[in-house]
Structure 1
C-alpha cells in the first residue's frame, strides 16, 4: 500500500515546475486523466499479499482514491510487493475503483476499519513470473520520485511495455512449459515414399505457417506502443503486428496461440523410448523392401490420436478468428474515437461548471480579514468595462491546473468567467495581436505542450493555430511588426535559446535568429519596435543579463545587465520604460523592481513591491501596473493584487481566493 512524498517547487537547476498538490499537501500520483490512465500498480507486503490474491481485492490508502476512482473494469493492474520488491501480474480490474469495498480488509479479524479503503476487485488475466525491480524499473523510470518510491499511475505506453515483459514470463498451466512441437510432428507424420523432405522441414513449415498467420492478421492501430512482445518470445514475433488492434487484443492472440501449442502437445501420440527404432523413410534400403513393411508405418500412424489434417484446420480457424477480431477492432476504434471526442467536449463543460462552482463557494467563504470581498456574479449579468479590465489566463491554485479565461475588473473588483481554453496552458505566454489573445505552449504540471490557440473577445471563442515546432514551457512571447515571437523556455531536457516566429499570412511557425543566451523562465516584451529578453535560467545559474532583437537588423545584441539575477519574473512597459518585477534570484523570491530606460541605456532600481513573488502575472491598465498572484517565500501562493502608479508607489488593492494562483498569465484588454 503506497505512500506519497512532498514535491518540490521549481526554484533552482531542475527543469520541471512543481507538480499539483505540492503546496500544502502531499503528492500521491501523476494525476493522469481517465483517458490517459493505462494501468495502476497496487502495493502489498508479505503479510498482506496472500489476502490480496485470495480475496481478489487490491487496496491503497485513502489519498490514492484520486486516481483509483478512475479505474474501470478491464483496466490492467499490477501488484508490487514491498517486502521483496517484485512486481506481480497481469491482473484486470473486475470492478470500478471504489471506497470500502471491504471495510475491514487487511486487519486482524476485522476488529478495526481498513487502512487501505481505495479498493478494486480483480481477476487474473495472465499468471506470470514476478518481475524484480531492476527489470521493471527502466519502464517506469519517470514515475520514481525517490530512490525507492514511485507513483502507481501508469500511462498507456508504460502499461503495454509491462504487459509485454510479463507475458514473456507467462506460467503455463500445469507448471510445465510447452515442448518443442516441430520435433514430434516430423516423427509422427506419415510421408509418402516419393516425398522425402530433409530433417526439420516439416517443423519449419508448421512454425512458418503459425508466424505468417500471426503477421498477416494481427495488426494494431495503437501508435503509442513503443514495443511489442519481448524478444525472448521467439515463436511469435509480433513487432510488425502492432499496427491496428489494441494491446489487449495482442495479449488475447498470444494466449490463443499458446493454447494451440498446448493442445498440440497434449495430443502427442505414444512413441517408443528409442526414436531411432522407427524406420527411416529416407533410408534407401527400407524403400527397396517394397510394400510389405509400409503398412506397419500406416497402422502405427492410425493409432495416433492426432492426425496431420487437424493442424492446418486449427491454424486456419485461428487465422479466421484473428481476421474477424481485426475487423471488429476497427469498428471499436472508430467508436472509441467518437466517444473520446464527446468525452473531451463533456470534460470541458464540466471543468467550466466546476470553475464556476468554485468561485461561488469562494464568494460565500471569504474571511473577514480580506481587504475586498469578491462578488462573483453570473457571466450573463456582469457588464465590465474593458478599458479598466485585464484577462487572467490559466494557472494553478495548489490543487488544480486551470484552463480558465477570466476578465478581472480593476475598478469593480469582480471577476467574469469567459469560455475556457481547449486545454490547460499554465507557465505559458500570452500575446495580443489584431484584437485577439494568443496563448503559446506551456503545460499542466506533468507534460508540456506545443499547441497554440487564440481567444476572440467579441465571439467569446477559442481558435486553434499551428503548433510550435516543439513542446516547451516557461517561455515568453511578444508581438513585433505584426508577427508573434515565442522566445526561450525549456522542453524538459534543456533550457532553450530558440526563437520561433508565427507569420499569420504564411500560417506556420518559422525558426528565426536564436538569442545569445539560453533562457528558461525568462520575461520578454516589445518596446518601440524591438523585442527585449531579460533574465531567466541557463541550466546552471540565474541570469541578470538582457538582450534586444531588432527585426530590421535581424540580430540580437547585448544591453546592460540588470542589477540582480532573476527568473520567473514579470516584464511590462510603462511610459516607454521596461519594468522587471520580482522573480527568483537563485536563493529566494524577491520583491525588487528594476526599470530600464532605453534612452539612457541603463537599469535603475525602482520601488519594491509589497510582497516578494515570482511566477506571478502583470499587466498595465490605465497607466498603472497590476501584479496578480504568484509564489512568495515559504512556497505559499499569493492571494493579493498590487497596483503601482508613478508618484503614488505600490498599494494592495484586492485580496481574495479567486486570485490565489501561480503560473498564470495576464494581459490588458485591447482598446481595438
Structure 2
C-alpha cells in the first residue's frame, strides 16, 4: 500500500503469508517489536511522490499503524515508487508515527479524508541516487511474499545494508534532485546548543524563544553534522544565499566513514588496516567535530570558536591513532564474546531439540499404554504404528487438510481421532495447499483451490477414504483461495475468496452430472477470508474482507429464492475465522477483526434471526481449523498473533464452555481446513 491512489491489491493484515521464512503478512506486516524495528519502507507513485516530499510526510493505510506507531524520531525511512520500481532515500523520521497528522493528505482537493492515516513526519538524512528493485531486492529478499510485493518493516541488519548501498550513490553538489529542496532551511542565524542534541545525534532547531529569528520548528526540519557544511575557503562558515551549501567531497567522505562504522559494528567482518587508516585520516580533520556552544552567543562568536578548534586540531590529532587502536581492540574482544555466546546458544538449542524428541517418544509410549489398558478404543484389525503410536480410524474422526507448520507448506492429509488424541497420516494431496476450502459429497472429501499465498490454484481434487486415494476433478473458473465452500442438494458451491489482487463475490457451482463448474448468483458483498456453511437447506456466508475493511455482515442463499439475502450482522468484524454448524445453529469462531486476532465466538439461531455472543475461546486465533462431532466443536491450531502458531486444541460443548487440550501429535499448524465425513456431523 502507498500514499496516493489506492492500488488494486488488498492486504488484509498481511494475512495470508507468502513466504515460509517470514510467516505473516501478505499485507506487509512482520509484526516486529519496537526494539527489532530498524527501518520502514513507505510507498508512493509518480503522482504522489511530490506531495510526500514537499509536505515532508509519509503515510500508509490504517491497518499498518500496528508498526507505524513504533516509529521514533531518527528511525531510517525509505520511499518506494511503485511507478518506476525505485527505492528513494535516505530519509528519517522527524517525529513519532501517529494517526492523521494531516487528515486530508493525498486527496484530490482536500474535501475527503485521507485513505492513509498512519503517518510520520520525515526529513532527508542523506540524498542518494534512487536504487532499482533488482539492486535492493537481494537485501530484503526475505520480505518478499510475492514476486513484486514485499513487507515494509525492516530489521536492523536489512536497514544497515540498505543505508550502506544507498550511501555509495550519494548525489554530489552538481546533481541535486528537486526532492531535496525541502530539506534546505535558512538556519544561519544560529546553531543549537549541545543540550538540544537528540539522542540520535541530530540537532533540533530551536524556536524564536531560543534565539532563532527564522525557526524551522513547524516543518520538523533538523540540522545534522552531515548537513552542516563549512566552506574550506571561508573558515567562518559562510552560507551563500541564506541556505546551507550542499555537501562537499570531505562531507561525503565523512558520511561514508560513519556508515562504514555502523556496518562494522553490525557485522562480523574483520576491521581492516585500510578502514583504520581511513578513520584516522578523517578523525584528523577537526572540521567534522560536533559544535558545542551556548545559543546565547552571536553567530560570529560561534564561528570564531570553531576556528579555535580548527587551530588546535593539529596538536590534538596525534593522539587519535592510539584511540582508534583501542576501539579496534574493543571490537575484536566484542566479536570474540559474540562467538562464545553463539557456541553456548547452539549447544542449548541442540539440548532442547533432544529433549523435545524424548518428550515426543514418551507421549507415544503413553498412548500405547492407554490403548493396551483400554482395548475397546481400537478395532480388532488395527495395529500399532511406528510414527504416532497406532494406526487408528474411528467414525468420530476429523480430517485435517494441508496448511502450514511454520516451516513448510503442507500437502498432508491427516486423520485426527479426539478420543485417544492421536493422528494418522493418510495419502497426501497432489500439491501443497493452504487457504483451501473443503466440503464433502457422496462420502468423499473435496479440496478446492487454495495455494501457498503467492501461488494460487484453480485445481480441485477429492479423497476417497475407502481407497485412500485422491482424484482430480474439473478446475474452478479462476485461481483463488480463502473462499468458503459447502454442499447443497448434491452440488458443491465455491463462495467468494480472492487471489492476492481482488476480493471476490463470485459463486461457482459444481454438478457431478454436468462435470464442470458453473457460475451462479453472486453474493451481495465481496468477501475474502470469509467463512461459510450449509444449515437447514440454505448456504450462509459470514464476515470476511472486502478489500478495504473487515466485515461483520452476513448473507444467506436459499435455492428456492435463487438469490442471496442479507441477514443480521455479527457483533464483531471478523475474517480468517471459522463457521461451524451444530444443533441447528451457526458458530462463528475467532478470526481477525482488522487490528488483532480475537477469541470471541458468536452463535446464530436462524429461528430468532439474531447473533448472540457466547463464551470466548481460551486463546485468540485466526486461520484455525474447526469441525463438529455430534454436540462438540473442535478448534485446531491457527495463528495466535504475529508468527505465533498454535499447537493446541480447544473443545466446546454447550453448557460446559471451552476446554483446552494440548495435542503433541498435532504440532503447530495453521491455514489448514478440517471436516468430518461420517454421519451428519
* TM-score, normalised with respect to structure 2: 0.47
**Structure with the greater alpha carbon radius of gyration:** 1
